[in-house]
Structures are given as structure tokens and as C-alpha cells.
A and B are shown apart, each in its own frame.
Chain A
Amino acid sequence: MDNFRNKFIEEALEHLNDLEGTLLLLEQDPENKELIEKVFRSMHSLKGGGAMFGFELISEFTHNLENIYDLVRNGEMYISKDLLDVTLAAVDHLKNLIDDQKVELPQTQETHTKLLSKIDAILETKSALKITKDISKDKKNTETISSATTKTATYYILFQPNENIFDNGTNPLYLIDELYNLGQAIAIPHFNRLPEFDELIPTRCYTYWEVILSTSQPFNAISDVFIFVEDDCHIDIHKLSDYNLLENNEFYSFVQQAIDRKTDIGIDNLQTLASRINAAIMVKEKKTDERLAVSKENTISSIRVSSEKLDVLMNLVSELVTTQARLSLFSEHSNNNELIAIAENVQKLSRQLRDIAFSIVLIPIENLMTRFQRLVRDLSQELKKEVQFIAEGTETELDKTIIENLTDPLLHILRNSLDHGIEDPAIRVKHGKPRLGTIMLKAYYSGANVHIQISDDGAGIDTEKIRQKAISKGLITPDAVLSHKELLEFIFMPGFSTANNITEVSGRGVGMDVVRRKIADIRGEVEVESKLGFGTTTTIKLPLTLSIIDGLLVKIHDTFYIIPLSSVDKIYAAEHNKVVGTFNQLIVLDGQQIPFFYLRHEFELEENNAPMEQIIVVRYEDKRIGLVVDSVVGEYQAVLKPLGKYYKNQEIISGATILGDGTIALVIDTNKAIKYFARKYKVEEVK
């Protein structure tokens, strides 16, 4: 039973998340029937599940909510901001109820009664609303039709009975009637086949019809009408549009004119007109479609798998890739052609398996959006600011562990943007900005990384204020010359951000230093760019996945190292005496001076006595830096293994991987390593 209850809780949370997302969409588009229907459905499943698994309180509470949305659905009540506020609060409360089923916490108890009375109040106002409803009934009616037509398609039917159709007792008019029953239709009879009166035979049928039919029925339903007369007549059915064209004034008048002219309309004319109108309607509806598409995506057939199983699967695949590397190595030395062929096949298969397995644990950033939208909505209200939140590239996928660890830092950055970034509407107008502030979240792939950018068009960060703060804290001397970028770096210092709060905001636990640390935990980086008066952009760079990287395998002394390929720019060979014993640690490569680090020195190893050294030039921030190694082995797909708690203070090495022959290779985190080496040299210079 507990098992079922857990499953219910899991599902209920999903329903609540769906519900929250739909409600936020509904706020943008309060008349959207499908969204209302979706809200109702989510509530209904929640209620049903709750009752089934003994969560009576949840069931009862949801029942009350459902009553409201039942009224909304029947057009007896409208979506208002107040209603959405109450519903969203109720959704939050329901989440609490799942944790605290017996309502033991006093604050839960309080919200419970409060919300119940609010819901009752809304239900009571219903009668009052009914009166207003009658007044606006006309408006309402047209809306119902137009939204109902979203699924209606328009067909052109040419129905030409053979002359002898009456012989077997068929009355064509009944068939036309049947078409009228399918939906909205206009039938245009044509009599131009009618012969001269002398030649007219009354038992023959000379009339034929053109019918324009708008129906929500499928195509088959139309052809079924003619199923018994198929052989006795000529029938042509064409789909003109996915919309109800009879509602379109242009189309309707065109048809009317054709009737007046008493000539055939003809399918060709109709199709040209229809495609033009279709395009116009499509543009208009595209926006709604996009919103609906999001909710439709959720219904793609899928199965639920516990994340533990996925973790096990990932581990097994990692093991397989490692073992396969061993097999490849062994087969190469074996001179056995059959074994080599098998090993190659295994390699191909395990690569495919790896790609699939990794794609399974990737989930789109979309999953986080509801929470962000909610935060922006609530906080902007609280702070009395007018803010729109735009998200782009939410289909970008990331490893689920990354997503899980990304939520809090992103929420914090958003909160910063809302609180410190976007100004009060009055101030914005005074500065010549639009009243409505914009916070934009952009996610996109960049090589083996995913970038997430949050930008606002708010006040920006005043680096002068940061400088003053840094001076007063004794971090820099008053005459220190620091670049814009260096000054911005201060906001990532522990204790600095909270002290530098330009305005106060309640309930902020973490500063930007925590954001950076949390992002660093998932091998990501955070950067801030800001222009005073124009806004701030925070960029988070993340690896696609935590468990595998494309790397360059190199050797220093007796140890193998992996340098992530994503940061490698170019590889050069250089004479030994050009890199060892130089005065300024600079080398000219391709006519450019490039600073470099001789890794043997950095790793406290004796100098290499080989005549040639390899310089791997890597990108570091916007610079190119050389790392000197003994030799380059080649490209390598590295399954990352953590070095573990015992090496948690290790900055240079981000992990290890096991090579085909069982040797361990260490993965160098180039950014951190260069930062570490550079810091060391700075300290030495000072000394």
C-alpha cells in the first residue's frame, strides 16, 4: 500500500506542477478553452487519486477547486486575476498537504481554512456573475463557436448524381441533408445540365451540387454519406482548410457571389482562395499553437523509470565502454583478424548504446520553467514591479543531475535580477525605458557545453559602488587600478555580495559566491557582465554531461593526462630550449605571443631531456594559453570517475578515467589549472 501511496505522491506532484504551469499560461490567455479544460483535468485526476489512496483532505480540497473550474468551463464564471491568485495559492497549499497530510502544522491549518473560505466566497459570487453573464451572452456565444472551430476543417464536395440515380430509390436531397447534419454547410444546386423541356425525362436526375462543409468530423464521415450511391454518381471531396472557412467573411462572400452568379465555383478557385485565408489564420493562431504545443509535448508516449535504475544503467554503460577499450587494445595486439572484427563491432555497438543511454538522462530545461515563471510572477507583484519573463531555447537538454543542481543558482540569479536589476516602473519611465521590464533566459548549445544566459534590462551593477565597498573592506587600495571585469568579480567573493546589497530583499540565504560554488560543483562556470543603466547578463557555462568527455590524451613523465577537447585550440611542437628556462614564459606561435606553462615544472617533476616538447594551446577566458606536455597520444573518449572525497581540495584535476590497459589517466580542468598556476606566479611576483 505504501508503494501505491508513494506512486500517488509522485503523480500528484506531477499533476500539481502541470497545474501550476497551465495556470500561468491561462493568465496570459484567460479565454483559452483548452487550458481551462486541462486545469480541470489535472484537478480531477488529483481528486480521484487522492480519494483512492486515502488522501481524503487533498481530495476534498481539490473537489472545491474543481467546482470553481467546472463553472469556468461551463462559461458561468471567468478567469480573473483574483481567481488565479487563489488557485495558485491553493496549488502551493496542496503541495504542503502532500507532506503534511493530517494538517498538523499550525500554519498549514491556517492556510487550509483561509483558502477554503476564499474558495467558498468565489463560489458564492457565482450567482452575481450569472447576471453579468447574461448581458455578455452574445459575446460569449461567438467565442464558444470560434474556439470550437479550432478543430474544424472545411471541405469542398462535388456531388454529381448519375441521371438514373432515382431508379434505385435514392433521393439526393437526403444525402445533402445528411451533410448538413455533419456541421455547417452550404449546398449550391446547379441546374445547367437541365435539358430543354421537350427532352426532359422526369425520372432522371439532372441537378448536381457543390457543397461547402465545415465539420469536426473526420474525412471518412463525409465519404460514408455517399457509401451507398458511390456507383451511381460522381463524387469529389477536397479538404480546403484546417479551419472553419464559413466563419471567414471573405470566404463567405465569395461563395455568396458564386451563388448569385449561378455558375460553378470550381475547386481550383476555391483552393486558391482557401490557401490564402489559411495562411492568414495560421499566422494569427501560431501564437496559441506554440503555447499548446508545449502542453502537447507532455503527452508523448513515455514510461516512468526510477532514476536509480538509470544511474545503474549509466554506471554499467560506463563500465562497458571501459571494458570495450580494453578489448580493442587487446585485439589490436593479437593479429587475429576475426577478433579485430569482433572488437570493432563491439566498439560500434557500445558507442551507440552509450549515446542512447546518455540521451535518456538528458532532460530539457523546460522542466524548470514553471518554477521560474512563478517566481517572476509572485516576486514582481510583491516588489510592485512590472516584469515580463521570456525564455528561449528551453528545449536545450542537460544531464538530470545538472538540472537538479541548477535550480537553486538560477532562482537566485533571477531573484537578483528582479530585486536589484529591474527598477520600479516610475523610475524606468523617467529613464526613458519601457515600463515593462524584461528578464530573458536563453539556453543554447555551444560546442560540448550548454550556455544559460539570464539577462535583464534593469539598472545594471555600479562598479564604482563595488570599488568603494572593496576599499572600505580593505580588499584593494584606493589607488588600485582594476578593470571593469575585475571589479565585477568581487560580487563572487564570500560575504561581499550580502554586504553590498544595494537594496534589501527578504529571505535571501545565498550570495553569488554560493551560486558560483554550486555551479562549480557541476563543472560549470559563472560570469557576469553588466552595463550601468542598461542591465546585467549572467552567463552559466555547463558541460553537457557529467560522466563522459571528449579529451586529448597526453603524457607527462610516466603519467597520462586528459585535456578536454572542448577547450583545446591547437597543438604545436616546440624545441625544448624554447620552453624551458625562458625568462618571461612567452613563446611565439603563428606570429602570436602566447603565455605558457611548462607542466613538468608546475607538477614539480624534473625537466624532460627530449629535444622536442608539445604545446597544447587551450582557450582560457578570452585568451590563449599554452600547456607544455611531453607527448600527445591522441583523442580519447573518457568516462569520468571522481577522485573522491580524499582529493576534494584538488583544483587542477577534475577526475580520472581508466584507459584500455587499466592505467589511470587524470583529467585536467584547464580553466582551474591555469587560474591556479597564474595565481602562483602573481604571488611570486609580489614577493
Chain B
Amino acid sequence: MSNNKQHKINSYLTFKLGEETFAANVSKVLNILEMTKVTKVPKAPPYMKGVINLRGAVLPLVDTRIKFEMTPTEFTPNTCILVLDININGESVHVGALVDSVQEVIELDDAQIMPPPSIGTRYKSEFIEGVAKIGDDFVMILDMDLIFSTDELSLLKESVSEEQEEQSSAQ
């Protein structure tokens, strides 16, 4: 059901982490918030930034940069929180994701989306739905469900290092 829906909506929200541009299908993004007060939860993994008050609900906040093995987010006026609707084992869970800046919403036909490259990227291909070329830039369309499903959180790190190891051993 959610899969179908995802493919029907061809709008994508692009955002930046560092210098790289990523895109997420708009059906996954419920809301874009300005940076707000974060309550840190002690003894949580580093990528769990804390919790925020989203209109009376407690929303967990993920530092997306740390998940992508970048340095922790430095707060600037451009820093935003994407409120995502993540499907974890069929259950809809809301989570906030910190991004350095939000760019724009773009329309992409299926034809414009190329399969993810198997080499030349730091990220394991299963987390990337596809790649699209916008102007001179390549935008990676992310599988938000997979990236933000709890069990997959650490897998990303491992898979990156594994891939790097594989690459280095291949070299």
C-alpha cells in the first residue's frame, strides 16, 4: 500500500547534508520545522540527538549527519527538522531528522531516476532508491523507511565500513 503510494507521488524534497544533496519522497515528510529546543536524553547513542515537543507530542530527533558518518550537526539558521513518517515493520512511527538545509521540492518522472551506482558512493546501495541529475548535481533519493528503521540504523555504519574494506581489499 505505502509502496504504491510512494510511486504514485513523484514529488521529492531535496535537502543538504554538508555539501551533498539528498532527496526524500514527499509522502514520507509530514512537516518541516525550524530548529527548536532539544531535550537531550542521557545514555542514548550519539545519533539520537534528544526529544522535542511537537505540539504536545514527544518526538525523537535523529542527527542525520552522524548517521551518514559525518561530523555532528552544527546549528545554523538554515538547520531544519524534517518530521518523517517512517514505516517500521508495518507500524507508522514519527521521527524528526536534522538536516543542514532544505532546498526545494522537485518533480521527477520514473524515467529520470537512474538505478543507484554500485561503486563510487560511500553508501550501501540498498539505502538509495535511485539517483537523479538536476542541473550539474546528482541527487541521491533515499529510502527513508530503511534508513530510519531502528534496526537498520547501525547497519548503515557497518555497511559503509564493510564496503570500504571491500573496496580497499579489492584495490
A positions within 8 Å CB-CB of B: 319, 322-323, 559-560, 602-604, 641-648, 650-653, 655-656, 658, 662-666, 676
Contact = CB atoms under 8 A, between A and B. Distances in A.
B93 A656 contact: no
B41 A666 contact: yes
B58 A641 contact: yes
B41 A647 contact: yes
B37 interface: yes
B39 A646 contact: no
Nearest to A641: B58
Contact of A641 (B37, B41, B44, B57): B57
Given A559-B39, A664-B39, A647 B56 contact: no
Contacts of B5: none
23 contacts: A323-B56, A642-B58, A643-B41, A643-B51, A643-B58, A643-B60, A644-B94, A644-B95, A645-B91, A645-B93, A646-B62, A646-B95, A650-B43, A653-B42, A653-B43, A656-B51, A658-B53, A658-B58, A664-B39, A664-B53, A665-B39, A666-B39, A666-B51
Contacts of B62: 646
Contacts of B40: 559
Nearest to B40: A559
A643 B95 CA distance: 11
Q: Can you list the 3 inter-chain pairs with the closest CB atoms, starting with the nearest?
A: A603-B42, A646-B60, A664-B39
B43 A656 contact: no
Given A322-B56, A658-B56, A662-B53, A646 B48 contact: yes
A645 to B, nearest CB: 5
B153 to A, nearest CB: 9
Interface in B1-60: 37, 39-44, 48, 51-53, 56-58, 60
A663 B56 contact: no
A287 to B, nearest CB: 50
A676 B43 CA distance: 10
A663 B53 contact: yes
A656 B58 contact: yes
A647 B52 CA distance: 13
A644 B44 CA distance: 13
B42 A656 contact: no
B56 A644 contact: no
Contacts of A646: 48, 60, 62, 93, 95, 150
Given A651-B43, A666-B41, 18 more contacts: A323-B56, A559-B39, A559-B40, A603-B42, A604-B42, A641-B58, A642-B58, A644-B94, A644-B95, A646-B95, A647-B48, A650-B41, A652-B42, A653-B41, A662-B53, A663-B39, A664-B39, A666-B51
A323 B88 CA distance: 31
Contacts of A655: 58
B62 to A, nearest CB: 7
Interface string B62-104: 1000000000000000000000000010010111000000000
Contacts of A676: 43
A559 B42 CA distance: 10
Nearest to B96: A646
Contact of B44 (A323, A560, A602, A647): A647
B58 A664 contact: yes
B139 to A, nearest CB: 26
B150 A648 contact: yes
A650 B45 CA distance: 9
A658 B37 CA distance: 13
A398 B52 CA distance: 31
B58 A652 contact: no
Nearest to B148: A646
The interface centre, meaning the residue of A319, A651, A656 with most chain B CB atoms within 10 A of its CB, is A656
B96 to A, nearest CB: 10
Given A656-B51, A664-B53, A647 B39 contact: no
A664 B52 contact: yes
A217 B44 CA distance: 73
Contacts of B88: 645
Contacts of A645: 88, 91, 93, 150
A284 to B, nearest CB: 58
Contacts of B37: 663
Contact of A652 (B43, B48, B51, B53): B43
A658 B57 CA distance: 8
Contacts of A643: 41, 51, 58, 60
A676 B42 CA distance: 12
Nearest to A668: B42
B58 A644 contact: yes
B56 A656 contact: no
The interface centre, meaning the residue of B52, B60, B62 with most chain A CB atoms within 10 A of its CB, is B60
A409 B84 CA distance: 36
A684 to B, nearest CB: 16
Contacts of A650: 41, 43-44
A665 B94 CA distance: 19
Nearest to B59: A644
A666 to B, nearest CB: 6
A56 B55 CA distance: 52
A643 B52 CA distance: 10
Contacts of B57: 641
Contacts of A602: 42
A124 B39 CA distance: 75
Contacts of A666: 39, 41-42, 51
B44 to A, nearest CB: 6
Interface in B94-132: 94-95
